[in-house]
Amino acid sequence: MRTLRTIQETREACRGLERELGYVPTMGALHEGHLSLVRAARTRCRSVAASVFVNPTQFGPSEDYDAYPRDEAGDSALLEREGVDLLFIPAPAEMYPDGHCTTVHVESSLTGMFEGASRPGHFDGVTTVVAKLLGIVGPDVLYLGRKDAQQLAVLRRMTCDLDLPVEVCGGATVREPDGLAMSSRNARLTAAERRVAPRLYAALVAARDALRGGAACDAAVSAALHVLDGAAVQPAQAPGGPRFEVDYIAVVDPQTFAACGGSVVPRHALIVGAARLGRVRLIDNVRFGDDADG
């Protein structure tokens, strides 16, 4: 595996890789979810590139950029073991040199709600860095996780609208045995918070079950909130223990992220949720019409 740190070297090296070229962009602190995307790329493509870059422009001023976990040596070892051909690890100054003043913005009809409302400017940071990375690597197939469902929808919209010559493939969410969606931020949960954290997934499954039973969307959301409050989970949450601060739970269209209403729910709908548990903000989703939760 070649490890490169400059845009020029990476662009030239990627041009020399055999096609198809699959690409997995990451912010590091890799886990099985990331590696599943690498394996999907390895199965289909002749060559695989990956990147590790903690992108500062997608973090808000009160978010955890400095505290975001970093393990370059461990990440490199994992990617080499999975057969990645090229790893790009740029410094922030390489990606955003002095004078950089261009932002890629997807219209607020898709980016202004849910994650976009909770994290102003977040999606502009994501679309800008991914557009730059695609221009550097030039892949045929871009592999992204479906856990970040709104991000996936935004990047699909961006690549379509800008006529970028890349296919976007979404990989299924990889979960811990207790259902918690794998995330680099999970390492920041305390032991008590980690025991409670799978309740977000349980809440979304409860909403899906309610919808399948004929409940309207608002009743399904209420069922999810009931689980997060601890009343429907045994053993009940101890007084004074970790509690969720719910950001949103909703039933949405996975392409537009428009909220679904009433009792007629499209089979392709997603139940999405985000909640803060201590210092960590968890997001997750399940698909209404599929028992595969990714």
Q: Which residues are catalytic?
A: 34
Which residue's entry shows tokens 């690409």?
Answer: 23
Distance CA 58, CA 201 (A): 25
As a residue count, the chain comes to 294
Report whether 110 contacts 154 (CB < 8 A): yes
Q: Select from 202, 165, 210, 149 the least CA-distant residue to 180.
A: 202
Judged by DSSP in three states, 42 sits in helix
Angle between helices 122-137 and 7-15 (to 10 degrees): 50
Which residue's entry shows tokens 């985000």?
Answer: 274
Report whether 83 contacts 77 (CB < 8 A): no
Q: Select from 275, 260, 188 the least CA-distant residue to 229.
A: 275
Report whether 283 contacts 147 (CB < 8 A): yes
Which residue's entry shows tokens 């590790």?
Answer: 52
